[in-house]
């Protein structure tokens, strides 16, 4: 058993309101630079929908992730080394700019410099790639709140593969929001795809990063990532991706997207996993069994044998203790709520999701029934206007049972806590019906509903001194980038409480 630590995240989709605050703050922090205008390390998609870039889930087209060959051995969907070598100068499996969108600004100068006349001057859109006038036809969130529209939903690769009955139901359904970042997978196909070895997975925390000095612009990583979360900076010719805000993580501070999330739906913590089991789990022949296979890779940090093996692997005691308090481990194992995104890609993703339930209550209330009653909620789970089969296609490779179990547990928590909160006698049969106890359900409620930041983000500090982290600088320290070590104020590691010199204009003493 070779134990490694992994920083992981869980997002509760039941609380996402689609405000895009996480996307905007991530954009301002990481990709607000020339050449990266079209890149969104964090984006929020409306589902059903095409996603960003468009139809990124269509692996028949993009050939991302892993597959099993005829001998049952794991291989990249884009092909082996020879095939990638033959395509190294002309890779045809890449999204074009139109699949992302052409970034633009507006000609505000025309509003100021236009001569006087009868016509009111306008600020026309201008492309940020070539500076020419642009026609806006698509963007990263162009189909916001239009998930149920038949004109757009028909292009959803997940929905396209489902039955006509499901498609018909979606013509009348609500939508939900799906925030996405890099999955920082245990078996990352982007790392295996890179010919130059520029993408690597850090042994100390599992964060997947790009070494800009090694990157040679082959773009095989863009093809290899099934989530299409690796971007090419067309100015520098280097690959860029979500860094899990590693300068903040190293100092025990949550990622920018998590700390600014309005709905408080993100949880960050350490999980321990057995690196020797990764290949076997990713090679599981049955796609529907991949979810459970991935869970078997993760270890119980409370187990004495695991703790000893972790210590032998060089994992420090404070990281082991953080893994024991990890909200991610609790949501995956103790409460059984979190599910991985597209486990069938065989990358073993480490950003997990809690499926949405809220509209069940609204639908029941509209029909005159008590929307919080346990009996009504359990009966409604299988009658969701958003079919369980669709959620299963996103999170469990098509197996509806794990999704049904999650939704039933969330419905049970609502009914159980309503009785408790309103002063009635708690019905202990409700948690029992979903395989839990009353104290477990109350703990689940506290974590999902009222948890403080210290409970949602359990992040041990890196053991490098903060001054060392600053002195190393940042590979994105160019043209208005993060600017670590450049003499500017470091907003990445600012705790929001102190007053660093240079952040605010000093008042005149006179």
392: how many CB neighbours lie within 10 A of its CB?
23
Phi/psi at 99 (5° precision): -75, -30
- Report pLDDT for 167: 55
Sign of the four-CA dihedral 53, 59, 61, 63: positive
| Contact (Cβ atoms closer than 8 angstroms) between residue 166 and residue 388 | no
Q: Is the previous residue joined to 163 through a cis bond, with omega within 30 degrees of 0? A: no
Round to whole Å and give the CA distance between 154 and 177: 17
Burial (0-12, 13-18, 19+ Cβ within 10 Å), 213: exposed
pLDDT at 48: 86
Q: How many residues does the chain have?
A: 510
Report the pLDDT value the prediction gives residue 141, as an integer from 0 to 100: 86
3-state secondary structure of 2: coil
Cβ 297 vs Cβ 349: under 8 Å: no
Q: What phi, psi does 301 have (nearest 5°)?
A: -70, -10
The pTM of the full predicted model, rounded to 2 decimals, is: 0.87
Of the candidates 402, 409, 411, 401, which has an alpha carbon nearest to the alpha carbon of residue 360? 411
**The pLDDT value given to residue 374:** 59
Give the H/E segment covering residue 312. helix 304-312
Tell me how far apart the 2 most distant CA atoms of the chain are, in Å: 81
Domain ranges of the chain: 1-95+166-354+437-477
Separation between Cα atoms, residue 496 and residue 457, nearest integer Å = 16
| pLDDT score for 387 | 81
Q: Is 63 exposed, middle or buried (0-12, 13-18, 19+ CB in 10 A)?
A: middle
Report the distance separating Cα 130 and Cα 124, nearest Å. 15
Mean pLDDT by 10 residues, the chain (510 residues): 96 94 95 92 92 94 94 91 79 90 92 87 90 90 74 76 60 80 97 94 95 92 96 93 96 95 96 97 96 97 96 95 97 97 97 84 57 60 75 94 92 86 82 93 95 96 53 50 43 58 56
CATH of 1-95+166-354+437-477, one of 3.90.25.10, 3.90.1150.10, 3.30.70.20, 2.60.40.420: 3.30.70.20
Question: Are the beta carbons of 395 and 178 closer than 8 angstroms?
Answer: no
């Amino acid at each position: 058993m070779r134990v490694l630590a992994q920083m992981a995240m869980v997002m509760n989709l039941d609380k996402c309101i689609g405000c895009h605050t996480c996307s905007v703050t991530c954009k301002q922090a990481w990709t607000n630079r020339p050449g990266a205008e079209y890149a969104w390390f964090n984006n929020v998609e409306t589902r059903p929908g095409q996603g960003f870039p468009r139809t990124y889930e269509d692996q028949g087209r993009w050939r991302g992730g892993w597959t099993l060959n005829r001998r049952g051995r794991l291989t990249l969907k884009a092909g082996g080394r020879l095939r990638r070598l033959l395509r190294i100068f002309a890779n045809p499996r890449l999204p074009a700019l139109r699949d992302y969108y052409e970034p633009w600004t507006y000609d505000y100068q025309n509003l100021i410099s236009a001569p006087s006349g009868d016509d009111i001057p306008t600020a026309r859109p201008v492309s940020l790639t070539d500076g020419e006038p642009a026609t806006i036809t698509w963007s990263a969130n162009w189909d916001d709140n239009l998930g149920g529209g038949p004109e757009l939903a028909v292009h959803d690769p997940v929905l396209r593969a489902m039955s006509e009955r499901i498609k018909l139901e979606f013509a009348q359904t609500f939508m939900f929001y799906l925030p996405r970042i890099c999955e920082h997978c245990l078996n990352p196909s982007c790392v295996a795809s890179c010919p130059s070895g520029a993408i690597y997975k850090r042994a100390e925390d599992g964060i997947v990063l790009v070494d800009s000095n090694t990157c040679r612009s082959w773009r095989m990583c863009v093809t290899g990532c099934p989530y299409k979360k690796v971007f090419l900076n067309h100015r520098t010719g280097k690959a860029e991706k979500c860094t899990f805000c590693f300068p903040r993580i190293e100092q025990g501070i949550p990622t920018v997207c998590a700390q600014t999330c309005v709905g408080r739906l993100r949880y960050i913590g350490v999980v321990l996993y057995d690196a020797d089991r990764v290949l076997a789990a990713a090679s599981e022949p049955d796609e529907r069994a991949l979810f459970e296979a991935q869970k078997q890779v993760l270890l119980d940090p409370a187990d004495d044998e695991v703790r000893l093996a972790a210590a032998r692997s060089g994992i420090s005691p404070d990281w082991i203790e953080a893994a024991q308090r990890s909200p991610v481990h609790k949501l995956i194992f103790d409460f059984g709520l979190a599910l991985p995104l597209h486990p069938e890609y065989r990358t073993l993703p480490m950003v997990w999701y809690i499926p949405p339930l809220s509209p069940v209550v609204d639908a029941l209330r509209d029909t005159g029934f008590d929307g919080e009653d346990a009996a009504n909620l359990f009966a409604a789970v299988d009658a969701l206007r958003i079919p369980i089969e669709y959620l299963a296609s996103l999170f469990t490779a098509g197996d509806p049972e794990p999704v049904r179990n999650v939704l039933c547990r969330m419905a049970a928590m609502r009914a159980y806590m309503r009785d408790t909160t309103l002063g009635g006698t708690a019905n202990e049969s409700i948690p029992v019906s979903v395989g839990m106890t009353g104290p477990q359900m109350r703990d689940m409620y506290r974590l999902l509903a009222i948890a403080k930041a210290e409970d949602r983000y359990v992040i041990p500090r890196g053991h490098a001194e903060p001054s060392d982290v600053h002195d190393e600088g940042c590979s994105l320290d160019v043209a208005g980038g993060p600017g670590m070590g450049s003499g500017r104020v470091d907003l990445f590691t600012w705790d929001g409480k102190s007053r660093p010199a240079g952040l605010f204009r000093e008042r005149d003493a006179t």
